[in-house]
Amino acid sequence: MKYKYYLALAVALPTLLFIYTLALGYTPWASAFLTLPPETEILLFTIQAGAGAATIGHFIGYQKGKNTKNIKADKEASLHTAIRQQKNQRKISFKYAALLVAMLAIFIIPFIINPTANFSGTDGQGPQAIEDQGYTRWLDTFFKPSHTDEILLFSLQIGIGGAIIGYFVGIERGKRSNNSQREGVKAKLVMRT
């Protein structure tokens, strides 16, 4: 199947989001059986939104990049460059896998080392420390988002950014795939003659 990875993500991401939403009790169907600090909830929802949007952007960009015609690449194609590109693609995919494992390790290790710690960031601690020293605000905020609104705003922001990055990465991968296919066809033609 040509699009099996996209299809797997299209099924896995909404399923994980649904399970996560049920676990936190954001639905009337089940009470919360997972309690996390608000910052961790926001982080996990934004990772979900970013991964989904980047996948969609990558798919659209890949299709667009694959359909572009590169006249310069057609003129420069040869058997050696096709073999070299195939080797480089294997190295790049290993690099992506290693970076993904490192990113997950950086995210998961603090929870394993100290599962009861408060992982709140400076958004919550900084203003409180300043106000404890006697500072009074000049202005009050005109928009005070609720916890759910914060999750939606951060997820929207990450989703837009992920879609843009995924789109441009997809275009470049589509162009490379298109060029390597053309070079492979030309290499077969050279071998026949």
- Render pLDDT for 66-83 as a digit per residue (tens, 0 to 9): 887 654 545 555 545 555
For residue 165, what pLDDT band results from cuts at 50, 70 and 90?
A: very high
Using one digit for the tens of pLDDT, what is the confidence trace for 2-49?
778 788 888 888 888 888 888 888 777 777 777 777 777 777 888 888
State mean pLDDT over 109-116: 80
- Which pLDDT score, from 0 to 100, does residue 164 have? 93
Is 185 in contact with 82 (CB distance < 8 Å)? no
- Which pLDDT score, from 0 to 100, does residue 104 have? 85
Is 48 in contact with 31 (CB distance < 8 Å)? no
Report d(CA 176, CA 31) in Å as an integer.
Answer: 48
Mean pLDDT (the chain) is 77
Q: Does residue 162 register a pLDDT over 70? A: yes
- pTM comes to 0.60
- Which pLDDT score, from 0 to 100, does residue 38 have? 74
- Ramachandran quadrant class, 134 (left: phi over 0; alpha: psi -120 to 50; beta: rest): left
- Which pLDDT score, from 0 to 100, does residue 144 have? 83
Q: Does residue 53 register a pLDDT over 70? A: yes
| Size of the chain in residues | 193
Report the 3 state secondary structure along 116-178: CCCCCCHHHHHHHHHHHCCCCCCCCCCCCCCHHHHHHHHHHHHHHHHHHHHHHHHHHHHHHHH
For residue 119, what pLDDT band results from cuts at 50, 70 and 90?
A: low
